[in-house]
Amino acid sequence: MPKRQIILMADIIKSSQKNQKDLMEGFKKVVGSTSKKMPDAFLSPITITLGDEFQSVPSSLSDAILALYHIEESIIKNKQDFKLRYVLLEGEIDTPINQKIAYGMLGQGLTDARELLNSSKREGLRFHVDLSDGEATRALAHAFLVIQSIVDSWKLEKDYELIAQFLEHRDYKIVADSLGKTRSQIYKRSKTLMTEEYFSMKSLINYIVKNI
């Protein structure tokens, strides 16, 4: 009997407009670092299926969210010039889970996730959630809309190096000392970049997931 699983898919936004060699190297680096960092978080590992897409079957919704965070933050820490569009969906997979590569599996859940990923290309949203719990789906969708608003306001050359420090240390005083900047200067930048709001939204999403 088919079992409902959490499915995580993503593709690169406007990939055809990027330098293909640099893009693929960066994409593989980010995906690879996530797989290495979270080896037990997937029933079927993150696998690049087409040049600019990946799919996976996380072990749980919580693991899927953590993987998504790691991917987004790895893009910033590695100063990659691309954005991903995600689908986080709960659906049925008919065939046995492929534990070595997220490929060759069949099921309505995978079909629905693929269709949602393709249809969402006409929208401006980067995070799409479809769970069996409708209220949780809506709550997570709203929370990720705020996350997107914050993250997409950060600029590669201007902000990523500083944001990477906040992701590592969070405390603006430690960040200022590590960069040799005044604490008041970094405090003001943290307010402009909304770093605390970003961490608050992560906490809110974690709370929602734990209470589903």
Check residue 152 and give its pLDDT: 97
Tens digits of residue pLDDT in 69-81: 999 999 999 999 9
128/137 Cα distance (integer angstroms): 9
> Which region among 33-42, 148-157, 171-180, 194-203 has the lowest average model confidence (pLDDT)?
33-42
Check residue 212 and give its pLDDT: 85
Three-state secondary structure call for residue 82: coil
pLDDT band at 91 (very low <50, low <70, confident <90, very high): very high
Is pLDDT above 90 for 121?
no
Check residue 3 and give its pLDDT: 80
| Residue 41 φ/ψ, nearest 5 degrees | -90, 0
Look at 1 and 202; give whichever has higher pLDDT.
Answer: 202
Domain ranges of the chain: 3-133
- Report the percentage of the chain scoring pLDDT > 90: 87
Tens digits of residue pLDDT in 12-70: 998 888 888 999 999 999 999 998 899 899 999 999 988 899 999 999 999 999 999 99
**CATH homologous superfamily for the domain 3-133:** Nucleotide cyclase, GGDEF domain (3.30.70.1230)
115/129 Cα distance (integer angstroms): 13
Check residue 1 and give its pLDDT: 57
Residues 6+ apart with CB under 8 A from 162: 175, 179, 186, 189, 193
Total length of the chain: 212
The pLDDT of 176-198, averaged and rounded, is 97
- Report the percentage of the chain scoring pLDDT > 70: 99
Alpha carbon distances (Å) from 180 to 10, 171, 172, 186, 192: 37, 14, 12, 10, 19
